[in-house]
Amino acid sequence: MTEQAGRRGSRIPSPDVLEYPALASGVELIGEMEETGFKERQWLIRRGDRFVQLSELLYRIAEQADGKSTYEEMAEGVTNSTEWFVSPENVRQLLQSKLLPLGVVAPAEGAALQDVRAREQTTSLLRINGRTTLLSPSVIDPITKVLQILFAPLAVVPFLLAVTLVHGWLYLVHGVSGAVRDVLYAPGLMLAVLGVLFVSGVFHEFGHAAALRYGGGQVRGMGAGFYLVYPALYTDTTDAYRLGRWARVRTDLGGFYFHLIFALGLVGLYLTTGWEFLLLVVLVIDMGIIYQCMPFVRFDGYWTLADLTGIPDFFSQMGAFLRSVLPVRRWEGAKLPNLKPWVKVVFGLYVAITVPVLALLMLLLVTRLPNMAMIAWDSLLILAKEFSLALDGGDLVGMALSAIQAFILALQMLGSSYLLYALGRMFLVVLWKRLDLARWRSVHRAP
């Protein structure tokens, strides 16, 4: 007790870091990354919905930032657990110059520092917004404990073989024109199609969770939010970063695998009942899988490519990657650690292709939004009339269809409006920073 009190009496003040350093709110230590695309070993920290890569030394210092230890105690803990001899001054300097600017440790009260998370939120458009957790791990775990059996090799091989044969029969022999015709002539079936698609989407998310469980990880929840302009379901599989490359890839592809199993069950149900509309659901599921394979936004194909290369997140690492490969003077900010040669080539190609594609998509959205808004408004008026007619005629199915279509249309317009707001805000923030920087340089320019 006396020795501890004496040690707490010798403190090294740091104006911007707490007296007893602590992790910032929302920061979580993930651990060492296995089978990465970097030449040196890397450790990972989660900060909100972003990931921060650290060297082992910085990670071990972050581990010691418990809000109770002094700089001396933190230095002793790092020295005892690593191959480095670290002094209290080393700890203070690394906290001040490295971990604090990354938003990993909490700043001291009154410190004149810009919130790194607020800064990143103004430039991070391709993330799920408005997140709402729907299922907790306590609900998910008992289900995935059973479903993980589907990832055993003795189950995967026959299921994939059956999926291949059934899809060959569906598209080459039977066709889906009958299913499309049935839904067109019986609009009420669209409600059934939407309902089955929602169930398949939930099953898709359990595919990610079960794959993570099979690899030795644990899901942290499932929920819903908005991605780009569409409502979306998501599964928090952050724990996959503790696993090896192929376990992570299996987690990424687990949703596709479960979607195909679901489609297989729908075909079996069709053969039993003769309900053609079920085959339309299979078609939509297959189109959704192809759509989600696009790696230009954070769909499952994006995460698969990221995990194959061993890069945690292309978008959050893009700026650091460009700063590490382009010799641009006065380009301040973090740089990526050394990448393996083939990973550097893949990352460079990804940036060269993705940036123009996303820029074109954003341009099309902005230029076409006025026409889209007029069409959407006219559609809402038409749907309102259809709803009124269905109400007068007591047509519950017609009322439900009109209401659902209007709801989906309103969500898309709301998402588009938010995206434009975020783009405008990002532009104004960047412009203000440029003007502020130019003003500072003009004031501090040597005479």
Please report, for residues 74, 285, 360, the alpha-carbon distance to residue 203 in angstroms, rounded to integers and kept in the order given. Answer: 46, 12, 33
- pLDDT given for residue 345 in this prediction: 93
Query: Nearest to residue 435, comparing CAs of 423, 427, 425?
Result: 427
Angle at 33 between CA 28 and CA 34, to 5 degrees: 150
Q: How many CB atoms lie within 10 A of CB 246?
A: 12
Cα–Cα distance for residue pair 370/393, rounded to 1 Å: 35
Question: What are the tokens at 413?
Answer: 């317009």
Cα–Cα distance for residue pair 181/277, rounded to 1 Å: 9
- pLDDT given for residue 8 in this prediction: 33
Q: Please identify every stretch of the chain with a pLDDT value under 70, giving residue numbers as ranges.
A: 1-16, 49-50, 109-126, 228-229, 328-333, 415, 418-419, 422-423, 426-427, 429-431, 433-447
- pLDDT given for residue 53 in this prediction: 80
Q: Which residues contact 159 (CB under 8 A, 6 or more apart)?
A: 150, 257, 260, 261, 264
pLDDT per residue as tens digits for the range 126-145: 677 777 889 999 999 999 99
- pLDDT given for residue 116 in this prediction: 53
Backbone angles phi, psi at 348, to 5 degrees: -60, -45
| Helix, strand counts (H, E) of the chain | 15, 6
Please report, for residues 71, 81, 232, 304, 403, the alpha-carbon distance to residue 413 in angstroms, rounded to integers and kept in the order given. Answer: 52, 54, 15, 30, 15
SS3 breakdown of the chain: % helix, strand, coil, rounded to 5?
Answer: 65, 10, 25
Angle at 103 between CA 98 and CA 107, to 5 degrees: 90
Query: Nearest to residue 225, comparing CAs of 380, 411, 364?
Result: 411
Q: How many CB atoms lie within 10 A of CB 309?
A: 21
Environment class of residue 79 by beta-carbon count within 10 Å: exposed (0-12), middle (13-18) or buried (19+)? middle
Architecture of the domain whose range is 2-121:
Alpha-Beta Complex (3.90)
Question: How far is CA 266 from its chain centroid?
Answer: 29
Query: Nearest to residue 71, comparing CAs of 59, 58, 61?
Result: 61
Q: Residue 27, CB half-sphere, CA atoms under 13 Å: how many?
A: 22
262: left (phi over 0), alpha (psi -120 to 50) or beta: alpha
- Across the chain, mean pLDDT equals 82
Angle at 330 between CA 89 and CA 306, to 5 degrees: 80
Per this entry, what is the length of the chain?
447
Q: Domain boundaries in the chain?
A: 2-121, 126-310, 344-447
